[in-house]
A = this chain, B = another copy of it.
């Protein structure tokens, strides 16, 4: 009989989340996760390099950005391109798995090492957006500033979406927050041009 299980990855993920929540991320070991999933430690390492990877398992954001930017219409402005990509990514990949994302987020917040990694992750997301813009010929300065800013806006929106219990849609929150930010920055217009 083959020991291959088509649902091994999902079982390992579910077991890991439960253990992280119940006993903490730091106190949970790979053998415990494997045992709870009814699988071997060896099987665990076929899917994940370490227990941190379970949290970031389906984090293919940089690759996704690249393919969405490549698909997008050539006449979109840089910010339209980003907004469209975030909208698609949110609606197609994130909207239906809010509970899982919320649980992961709580685990990340509870562990200093994972929080550190989140900062690096945000930097990687910004870099993926920036590279995508550069490939479309956007000037470097604009690409860097827009990428950092929209990665931030996305992160802030994601946190609001996770906390919200009123059925708000992530991509709407992103648009709202972009509008709030634009209005706040507009207050400096005369400072910038009068200096």
Contacts and interface: CB of A to CB of B under 8 A. Distances in A.
Interface of A is mostly: helix
Copies per complex of this chain: 2
Contacts of A120: 116, 119
A74 interface: no
Interface residues of A, number: 40
A92 B180 CA distance: 31
A78 B180 CA distance: 12
Contact of A146 (B172, B181, B189): B181
Nearest to A172: B195
18 contacts: A78-B184, A79-B185, A79-B188, A80-B191, A84-B191, A116-B116, A119-B120, A119-B123, A142-B180, A145-B180, A146-B181, A148-B149, A149-B185, A152-B152, A175-B191, A175-B195, A179-B192, A181-B185
